[in-house]
Chain A
Amino acid sequence: MAMRTTAAPLKDATAIVGIGQTPFAKQLPESEKTLACRAILAALDDAGIAPSEVDAFASYTMEETDEVEVAKSIGAGDVTFFSRVGYGGGGSCATVAHLAAAITTGQATVGVAWRSRKRGSGPRPWRNTQAQLPTPAQWTRPYGLLRPVDEIAMLARRYMHEYGATRDHFFNVALACRNRANQNPAAIMYDRPLTREMYMTSRWISEPLCLFDNCLETDGALACVVVPAERARDCRAAPVYIHSVAQALPAQHHGMVNYWTESPLTGPSWTAARHLWKHADFGPCDVHVAQIYDAFTPLIPLSLEGYGFCGRGEGAAFTEGGALELGGRLPLNTGGGGLSEAYVHGFNLINEGVRQLRGSSTAQVPGAATCLVTAGEGVPTSALLLRS
Chain B
Amino acid sequence: MSPMMRATTDNGLLAPVPDADGAPFWDFAARGELRIQICSDCREPRFPPRPCCPKCHSFTSSWRLTSGTGHIWSYVRPHPPLLPGYAAHAPYNVVLVELADAPGIRLVGNLVASPDAEIDSAAPEDLRIGAAVRAVFPRVQGMALPRWTPERS
Contact = CB atoms under 8 A, between A and B. Distances in A.
A153 interface: yes
B114 to A, nearest CB: 17
A150 B16 contact: no
B129 A136 contact: no
Interface in A139-175: 139-147, 150, 153-155, 157-158, 161
Q: Considering residues A124, A132, A154, which has the most beta carbons from chain B within 10 angstroms of its beta carbon?
A: A154
A134 interface: yes
Q: Considering residues B15, B48, B145, B147, which has the most beta carbons from chain A within 10 angstroms of its beta carbon?
A: B48
Interface residues of A, number: 40
A50 to B, nearest CB: 45
B94 interface: yes
A44 B45 CA distance: 53
Given A135-B22, A252-B54, A206 B5 contact: no
A64 interface: no
B1 to A, nearest CB: 10
Contacts of A206: 76-79
A129 B4 contact: yes
A72 interface: no
A191 interface: no
Contact of A138 (B22, B77, B106, B147): B22
Given A130-B5, A135-B48, A260-B105, A143 B94 contact: yes
A231 B77 CA distance: 53
A260 B102 CA distance: 11
A260 B74 CA distance: 13
A205 B129 contact: no
Contact of A260 (B47, B86, B119): B47
Contacts of B110: 143-144
Contacts of A139: 16, 22, 48, 107-108
A153 B75 CA distance: 8
Contact of A207 (B79, B107, B140): B79
B65 interface: no
B76 A135 contact: no
A146 B19 CA distance: 19
A192 interface: no
A138 B75 contact: no
A204 B93 CA distance: 13
A142 B129 contact: no
A328 B81 CA distance: 36
B56 interface: no
Given A129-B4, A144-B92, A206-B76, A134 B19 contact: yes
Contact of A134 (B17, B91, B119): B17
Given A142-B140, A144-B78, A157-B76, A259 B108 contact: yes
Given A138-B19, A144-B86, A259-B106, 10 more contacts: A129-B7, A132-B4, A142-B14, A144-B13, A144-B89, A144-B94, A144-B110, A161-B74, A207-B77, A260-B106
11 contacts: A132-B4, A134-B17, A135-B21, A138-B18, A139-B108, A145-B78, A145-B94, A147-B78, A158-B73, A205-B78, A262-B104
- Identify the 7 closest CB pairs spanning chains A and B, nearest first: A207-B77, A158-B74, A130-B4, A153-B76, A138-B16, A204-B79, A157-B74
